Amino acid sequence: MESLFGLSHNTTLLIWTAVAIVFLVLLIAKYKWNPFVTLLMSALMLGLLSGMEAQTLIKSVTGGLGGTLGTIAIVIGLGTMLGKMMAESGGAERIANTLIDKFGVKRVHWAMVIVGFIVGIPVFFEVGVILLIPIIFLVARKTGMSLLHVGIPILAGLSTVHGLVPPHPAPMIAIDAFDANLGKTILYAMIVGIPTAIIAGPVFGKFIGKRILVTPPSELADQFSAKSSDRLPGFGITLFTILLPVLLMLVGSIAGIVDPAGTSGFTHFAEFIGHEVIALLISAVFSFYSLGFARGFTKADISKFTSDCLAPTASIILIIGGGGAFKQVLIDSGVGGAIAALANQSNINVILFAWLVAALIRVATGSATVAMTTAAGIVAPVLAVSTGVNIELVVLATGAGSLVLSHVNDAGFWMIKEFFGMTVIQTLKSWTAMETILSVVALIFILILSVFV
């Protein structure tokens, strides 16, 4: 089955790839199949259609799944624990309250994007929304502003970090697939992410908040406002705990740049603690003290928190593993080389190509994770034969593409709709528009930055 109607081998491989991706998209988007199961089925289908031996195909699937999760699963687990400690201790609320006090009511939407950006660093987008919804409701009630005026900036901050900034799984998947430098990716993510979050957050939030007046749903608002905010942790220790993994990663990367030969003992030590797994492990353990024991929690409390928070991550981890399996089959079957050859002949801009692939899969499947994992497998072989391309910017472009045009096939769409008490049309005009602005603006900044680095 390696040739089709007398077509060349590469063309046949590309046709089978298109068939497998259409199959993947249809089962997830139209028939609502589990993405993990669908990714495995698509990987097996592609391998068989491309002529791989059965045993080779099985090794490719299992190897791709295991290789992808080797680091990512640990990152997700430790990051989730760190986020849980921040939630239970009231650290997120402390950060929000402090920034609101400093910025004042008139500029509260600027404080909100900072809250979303900072709180979003160690937690998943969905977790960040759950953490910050009480604060959004509280601020909207105090100021009399539309829920969107306050909420959109927080959502923009959370979403920007989710798609662009390590150690979030989305950019980490691409970093591993493209063999990008972690420190440079974090640096470029900040350069691109901060202005992007501002435009999609406070600027768009103020615009849409005046046109769609939404108030907190009464039942949810009463439920969240009943929570006690006494004895919150200090702002400084909370901020330090959240940013500690990023700081450690930056120290490791800077040490590697200053001493590329790795001749000093300090460089080895800095690179060790700067590895994403070690940095997150140090930060998670530190949070047990700074946001746990220091807040009066017992060993049993912390054990319960760190156990309970892992269950919801299981599906995310499996989806990422399924994407890794699909990626490996793309490579081992020769499809990756065929895609690379086609892209090389057409002289396509790799940054734009990465964004477009991730965007198309995101729109079709509704999942940023599926978009990122699948796009990484398609873009990696193209990147391998491209010269003069900044790999870290390709990582960011893939992440930006995976955020575009969230609509009715995205669970996040319905989550925002229900929490904000909006209609489908209002959600499309606000949330969907914000995600699209964020994605496109990020791409523009990435292309501009590519001129200079």
DSSP 283-312: HHHHHHHHTTGGGT--HHHHHHHHHHTTGG
Q: Mark 110-136 as b/e (b = at least 16 C-beta within 10 Å).
A: bbbbbbbbbbbbbbbbebbbbbbbbbb
The DSSP letter of residue 387 is -
What does each of the 453 residues of the chain score in pLDDT, given as a tens digit? 445 655 677 788 888 888 888 888 788 767 878 888 988 999 999 999 988 999 999 999 999 888 878 877 887 788 778 878 877 888 767 776 777 788 877 788 888 888 888 777 766 676 667 667 767 777 777 677 888 998 999 999 999 998 898 877 778 888 888 989 888 898 999 999 999 999 999 999 999 988 888 876 665 555 454 444 557 888 889 888 878 887 887 788 778 777 877 778 888 898 899 887 898 899 899 999 999 998 889 999 999 988 887 877 787 788 878 878 887 888 788 876 776 666 656 677 889 999 988 888 888 766 787 788 888 888 888 888 777 889 999 999 999 999 998 876 676 787 788 778 888 889 889 999 999 999 999 999 999 999 998
Only one residue has tokens 């669970």, namely 411
| Token pair listed for 388 | 């003069």
> In sequence order, which residues have a C-beta less than 8 Å from that of residue 103 and are 6 or more positions away?
110, 111
Contact, 98 vs 112, CB < 8 A?
A: no
Contact, 129 vs 413, CB < 8 A?
A: no
Contact, 82 vs 306, CB < 8 A?
A: no
Contact, 78 vs 98, CB < 8 A?
A: no
| Token pair listed for 330 | 């793309």
Which segments of 264-410 does DSSP mark as H helices, in order?
A: 265-274, 276-290, 299-308, 314-332, 335-346, 350-365, 368-384, 391-401
Q: How many residues does the chain have?
A: 453
Work out the burial of residue 25: count CB atoms within 10 Å of its CB; fewer than 13 is exposed, 13-18 middle, 19 or more buried. buried
| Token pair listed for 1 | 């089955």
Which pLDDT score is estimated for 197? 94
Evaluated on CA atoms 293, 295, 301, 307, the torsion sign reads negative
DSSP 119-173: HHSSS-HHHHHHHHHHHHHHHHHHH---HHHHHHHHHHHHHHHHHHSTTSHHHHH
Q: In whole angstroms, what is the distance from residue 201 CA to residue 435 CA?
A: 10
Q: Mark 419-435 as b/e (b = at least 16 C-beta within 10 Å).
A: bbbbeeebbbbbbbbbb
Contact, 172 vs 75, CB < 8 A?
A: yes
Counts for the chain of helices (H) and strands (E), in that order: 23, 0
Torsion of CA 309, 70, 384, 316, to 10 degrees: -30
